[in-house]
Amino acid sequence: MTKIHRQTAGNQFNKTKPLFKLSFAVLFVLSLLSCESQQEAGNPNQQLAQTAQQTTQDVNEAQSVKHEFFTILALGDSLTEGLGVKQDGNYPALLQQALHQQGYPQVKVINSGLSGETSSGLKNRLDWVLQLKPDLTILNIGANDAMRGLPLKLTTDNINNIIERIQAANSQVVLAGMQIYDNLGQEYVVGFKDMYPKLAKQHDLLMIPFFLEHVAGDPKLNQADMIHPTAAGYEIIVERNVLPTVLPLIKPLNN
């Protein structure tokens, strides 16, 4: 596929009013830690085992029909997995539906999101999921790193490594930016926000400036935790943030 130079979708978040207040940020931290604690308190391997089973199934299916499908791999954390919504209400499922409606039935979007995932965790499981041999990968990772206050250099180095390995597997990358408002200090907040466009520029990637644009902070579009979008929220994310970025890469399929 012809390489398309870096571009953005939607309005830059820094041109809008901040959508998170400090109280939301504190809730964000507590909720994410709560999600992880609940997983660990039950069966620490259950979530990963379920993802492993699904990925194995997806690998087998993808290998058997590779000649028929253009495969998009959605990599990330709970925002990709779709925590709290039905399987057909997460963004990868809605993106596939939207692309089919746009006239691209040959596109298959595979959800490889894992709740609580950090950039280090994704880095460690990357070779496994790349067995899917995706044509395009949408990468949304880093929010849980920020929630844990991990050093920005660690997160940056991990994402840089992830991007390089995805590209080495002959998959194009769309990078989804994230932003955070919390008590880690202005320097960390700004550094985290700027990390994504810097990586996109470094690797000449298409980028979604802020994955949660138009949805973050809106109680009508988020679940009770004010962190994870509802199915309606994901519909907006796909329609206004993801689809405009991905569609130019898909259009050549019907030429």
Secondary structure of residue 85 in the 3-state scheme: coil
What does the chain come to in residues? 255
State both tokens at 53.
């089973």
Is 228 one of the annotated active-site residues of the chain? yes
- Rounded Cα–Cα distance for residues 88 and 86 (Å): 5
Contact in structure between 114 and 51 (CB atoms under 8 Å)? yes
DSSP calls for 145-165: HHHTT--HHHHHHHHHHHHHH
Is 78 one of the annotated active-site residues of the chain? yes
Among 157, 194, 218, 225, the one annotated catalytic: 225
Phi-psi group of 185: left, alpha or beta (phi > 0 → left; psi -120 to 50 → alpha; rest → beta): left
Q: Which parts of 92-220 are beta strand (E)? A: 107-113, 136-140, 172-176, 206-208
Among 78, 115, 119, 171, the one annotated catalytic: 78
Q: Could you give the dihedral angle defined by the CA atoms of residues 87, 89, 95 and 100, in that order, rounded to the nearest 10 degrees?
A: 80
For 180-198, give one letter per residue: b (16+ CB within 10 A) or e: bbbebeeebbebbbebbbe
Is 64 one of the annotated active-site residues of the chain? no
Active site residues: 78, 225, 228
